[in-house]
């Protein structure tokens, strides 16, 4: 007889939050769960308050839900997984997941001594199209940079997309600029996109010579697509990702603290370094190795089984 599937419900910020990284990494976890015999469904976290269906596993990925939502989850599920990037709440019993490579495991051990911790290196989450590109042969880079994509989250919280286009165009008018933004008509001189699914996003990234992105989920997706990447730390909760990928990306720290003159100087320094083909090639090879090594998900799911017996 086929092995019976267990039921998993996953809730991630969409309407309630900013950016699209919560949905992306939650869908990636749903894919892993499906490979491990779970029937998985992903919902917007806005619907959790009125949700009352019991399940084997419940997942929450939110920056905004209050603590009572997490207690509601443990009343409905045999076991819960809670995403956390900032040691945000006194979570009830469950598994805490921070997939950022640079996450501080000791800080989690100190604050949450009674939780199972899936934190840091080995817990990277990528949706299936990005995993497929990660596992294909090395991408052939072009000798010069032509196509550049700017993607700074669903809200572009620092309003940088147009400014970056202008700076890049001034640096080299031959750059072909693409951008992802809620307003895909923001720039008449560049190609805009929005509401891309994972396959469309992976295909688009794979065609780029350079990705300029925030240091959230898109950072690991760009690296998986073997695209040289400049990460902009646009919020403090992105620090762990910036640290974790420091050896395989260019990056600009604490962008929210910089005036435009300081940011311009940092941007031009990074673009100048990235003009060097051998440097870009080195970054992509390092990124591929980093994402492929030390996968802890198999071990994690073995531990999860003990909760559900």
Q: Above 90 in pLDDT, residue 104?
A: yes
Q: Residue 212 and residue 231: Cα distance in Å, rounded?
A: 6
Rg (C-alpha) for the chain, rounded Å, is 20
Contact 67, 90 (CB under 8 A): yes
Of 302, 293, 308, the closest CA to residue 101 belongs to 293
Q: Residue 135 and residue 195: Cα distance in Å, rounded?
A: 25
Confidence of residue 1 (pLDDT cuts 50, 70, 90): very low
Tens-place pLDDT, residues 173-203: 999 999 999 888 888 899 999 989 999 999 9
Query: 108-111 long-range CB contacts below 8 Å, 24 or more apart?
Result: 111/87
Give residue 184's pLDDT. 85
Alpha helices (H) in the chain, listed in sequence order: 21-35, 67-76, 105-111, 128-134, 161-171, 198-206, 217-224, 239-244, 260-274, 277-292, 297-307
Counting beta carbons within 10 angstroms of the beta carbon of residue 88, is it exposed (0 to 12), middle (13 to 18) or buried (19 or more)?
A: middle
- Across residues 36-64, what is the average pLDDT? 94
Identify the sign of the CA torsion 303, 306, 308, 309. Answer: positive
- Across residues 72-88, what is the average pLDDT? 96
Give residue 16's pLDDT. 54
Mapped onto helix, strand or coil, the DSSP state of residue 204 is helix
Confidence of residue 4 (pLDDT cuts 50, 70, 90): low
Run of H or E residues at 97: strand 95-98
pTM of the entire predicted model: 0.90
CB count, 10 Å around CB of 188?
A: 6
CB count, 10 Å around CB of 196?
A: 15
Phi and psi of 44, rounded to 5°? -70, 140
- Across residues 250-272, what is the average pLDDT? 97
Cα-to-chain-centroid distance, residue 102: 13
Identify the sign of the CA torsion 134, 183, 161, 27. Answer: negative
Tell me the domains of the chain and their CATH numbers. 6-122+294-307 (3.40.50.11190), 130-291 (3.40.50.2000)
Q: Residue 137 and residue 103: Cα distance in Å, rounded?
A: 29
Q: Above 50 in pLDDT, residue 116?
A: yes
- Across residues 234-243, what is the average pLDDT? 91
């Amino acid at each position: 007889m086929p092995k019976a599937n267990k039921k998993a419900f996953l809730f991630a910020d969409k309407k309630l939050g900013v950016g699209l990284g919560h949905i992306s990494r939650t869908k990636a976890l749903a894919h892993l769960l499906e490979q491990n015999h779970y029937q998985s469904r992903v919902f917007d976290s806005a619907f959790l308050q009125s949700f009352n269906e019991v399940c084997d596993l419940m997942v929450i990925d939110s920056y905004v839900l209050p603590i009572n939502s997490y207690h509601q989850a443990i009343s409905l599920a045999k076991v819960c997984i809670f995403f956390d990037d900032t040691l945000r709440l006194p979570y009830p019993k469950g598994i805490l997941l921070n997939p950022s490579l640079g996450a501080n495991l000791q800080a989690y051990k100190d604050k949450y001594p009674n939780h199972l911790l899936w934190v840091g290196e080995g817990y990277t989450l990528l949706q299936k199209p990005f995993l497929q590109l990660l596992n294909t042969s090395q991408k052939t880079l072009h000798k010069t940079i032509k196509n550049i994509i700017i993607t700074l989250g669903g809200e572009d919280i620092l309003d940088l997309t147009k400014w970056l286009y202008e700076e890049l165009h001034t640096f080299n008018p031959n750059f072909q600029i693409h951008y992802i933004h809620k307003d895909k008509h923001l720039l008449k001189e560049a190609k805009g996109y929005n509401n891309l699914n994972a396959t469309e996003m992976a295909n688009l990234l794979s065609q780029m010579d350079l990705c300029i992105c925030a240091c959230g989920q898109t950072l690991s997706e760009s690296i998986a697509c073997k695209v040289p990447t400049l990460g902009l730390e646009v919020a403090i909760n992105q620090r762990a990702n910036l640290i974790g990928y420091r050896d395989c990306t260019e990056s600009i720290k604490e962008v929210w603290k910089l005036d435009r003159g300081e940011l311009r100087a940092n941007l031009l320094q990074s673009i100048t370094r990235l003009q060097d083909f051998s440097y870009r090639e080195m970054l992509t090879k390092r990124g591929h190795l980093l994402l492929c090594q030390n996968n802890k998900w198999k071990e994690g799911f073995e531990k999860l089984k003990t909760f559900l017996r």
